[in-house]
Amino acid sequence: MGKHLPEYTLEQIERIAEKLDRLPKVEKAQFGKRDAIERLSKSILNVLKRGYSMDDVADHLRKEGLNLTASTLKTYLHRRTAKPVKAKNDPTPISSSEPKAHETPSPMKTTLPVSRGTFVPREDSDEI
């Protein structure tokens, strides 16, 4: 004997959805270091543009009770300002490895594929 599952009308579901949509946004009252730096990032970047060093900013933050090192601050800011990385399975080509019409391929050099990362391999040189 199967259990009887409750059934809901479309009207009930829509009424619940409307009530959920009207709920006010809940604001966080406390934040971790990363969240605090994210919220302060615009002000921190402005201070850095005015000539202060990461160490200076970290010192000021420590005086205000936000205990972190300049290295940690730099890491958090980098994560905040870094551009999102494309997914590996993204079919968008980065560039074609075939020479353009105006380029003459050199018989001595081979064209290396462009990596999706920041490291681009180069051919070995004869200099050692």
pTM of the shown model: 0.47
Structural domain contains residue 37: yes
Query: Is residue 94 helix, strand or coil?
Result: coil
Structural domain contains residue 42: yes
Domain of 53, in residue numbers = 29-81
Per-residue pLDDT tens digits for 78-89? 887 666 655 555
- In the numeric block, which tokens belong to residue 81? 């300002």
Structural domain contains residue 123: no
Q: How far apart are CA 83 and CA 77, in angstroms?
A: 12
Instruction: State residue 5's pLDDT score.
Output: 79
Q: Which of 94, 81, 85, 98 is nearest to 120 (CA)?
A: 94
Structural domain contains residue 102: no
Q: How far apart are CA 44 and CA 25, in angstroms?
A: 27
Count of CB atoms situated within 10 Å of the CB of 83: 5
49, amino acid identity: K
Structural domain contains residue 44: yes
Structural domain contains residue 74: yes
Per-residue pLDDT tens digits for 8-60? 999 999 999 999 999 998 888 888 999 999 999 999 999 999 999 999 999 99
Total count of domains within the chain: 1
